[in-house]
Amino acid sequence: MKKIALLALCLLLVMAACSTGQQNTTDDPLSSDTPGTDTQEATGEPARTDLNLYSQADVSTMDPMYSNTGADSTLKSLIYEGLVTKVYEYNSSGGSEAVYKGLLADSWDVSEDGTEYTFHLRNDVKWQNGDPFVADDVVYSFTRGQESAYMVACLENYQSVEALDDYTVVIKLSAITPTFIDNMTKFSIVNEKYITEQGEAFSEKPMGTGPY
């Protein structure tokens, strides 16, 4: 009797262990057999490619020449680009320092007297509508920037701009301006043709060379 009782007890323990193992496998949320893990397969619709951004403040305009709030500037940086960008890199002492690199410009040269900057533009950039980015866009942007009171600081000592060819621009200043390259990181380049076509609607229908 004792042997029968012992065998019965062992059988019950084995059945309980098997039951527990089956339950863990079925309820595992990471199991590959769990339905509904692929939204695209479930709905039959393609995955979304849009990006929704949340801002604590209202955006007053999407025209980069008239951006005057933090929310405006944040949005501007996603849509438009400047000739130069500023990044922070670690230095040998373990700290960080600002480094200026070309964005829409590959490189630039400065005259001996420090008042003339020659920018060599990238030839592989396109606007979001597919049009090529060229020097005339830079010329137009500086001309248009002079019309905005918000661009006064960026265009400090600005005198003139000239396109030597499709990918070379010369900007002349009236005096040496140590902050000029830093100012260029905040000055967005826009497209004359598109702005002319859109008119006043441009402030709500932006188009730049940036990621969005």
Express each pLDDT in 117-147 by its tens digit: 999 999 999 999 999 999 999 999 999 999 9
pLDDT at 54: 63
Confidence of residue 41 (pLDDT cuts 50, 70, 90): low
pLDDT at 45: 75
Partnered with residue 105 across adjacent β-strands are 121
pLDDT at 174: 98
Strand positions, DSSP E, the chain:
84-90, 96-102, 105-110, 116-121, 158-165, 168-173
pLDDT at 103: 97
Which 3 state secondary structure label does DSSP give 163? strand
Task: Taking the CA atoms of 60, 64, 69 and 70 in sequence, report the sign of the dihedral they define.
Answer: positive
